Amino acid sequence: MTLHFKQLGHGEPLVLLHGLFGSGDNWFGVAPRLAEKFHVFAPDLRNHGYSPHHAEMGYPLMAADVEKFFLSQKIESAHVVGHSMGGKVAMQFALDFPARVKKLVVVDMAPRAYARAHDKIFAALLALDLASFQTHQQIEDALAPEIPSLSLRRFLLKNLGRDEHGKFIWKMNLRGVVENYSRLGEVLSAENQFDKPALFIRGGKSDYINTADEAEIRRRFPAAEIQAIAAANHWVHADTPEEFVRMVLEYLC
């Protein structure tokens, strides 16, 4: 699978992997700062953004997509940063292709299994008859009863596009993600270790990484450092961009 991507900057390669419902564009609040030091690549993972749709998802497949991306861009090795679902892809990639990763940064995600937490969102999105809407605002308003958070609705609706007739469509493969959702919550399948430098950044207000996760993180990633940004929720790089960039640059440079 050939992933769509954006790039900016010059220097050592730095690959940024986004989370569920996202795309490479999610990183562009912090990417310009990172691009002052690195050649930044921000791909859309399979079934997200403008990358191809496929009936199957799962971390070994998505890590293999990233390996193909490295080959296509002639990237021998790079620093890899992943958030949430992209953090698990980054971990799987480091475990499966350790020679490709110089330093690993995982943002608010552990290698364990996670309970289903997005079923209500999936149901709300699937219930929309996109062809019946004329404006973006109408869709945003239609989602409000089930998804009261305006910021979350606007984030989700970044996945909207229009077809050749001007009708709304999902850019992401919504049904494909839904059908593979259980696999996205699974524990990482690889049992080997990645012994190069790894930084796990957790949101101080998030429960995605807790104290009980630390032993498993260090078992899989023996050189791991775990740091928290106290003011951040799960979206660490959006909640506290300045502190996030500072922490990442101090670790990578």
Q: Which residues are catalytic?
A: 84, 234
Q: What is the C-alpha separation between 15 and 238, in angstroms, rounded?
A: 17
Query: How far apart, in Å, do the first and last CA atoms of the chain sit?
Result: 31
Q: What is the C-alpha separation between 36 and 10, in angstroms, rounded?
A: 8
Burial of 179 (0-12, 13-18, 19+ CB in 10 A): middle
Neighbours of 241 (CB within 10 A): 14
Task: Tell me the three state secondary structure of residue 77.
Answer: coil
Q: Residue 177: what residue type?
A: V
Cβ neighbors of 196 (< 8 A, separation 6 or more) are 94, 98, 101, 102, 103, 104, 223
Q: What is the C-alpha separation between 53 and 46, in angstroms, rounded?
A: 6
Cα separations (Å) of 82 from 129, 141, 181? 33, 31, 18
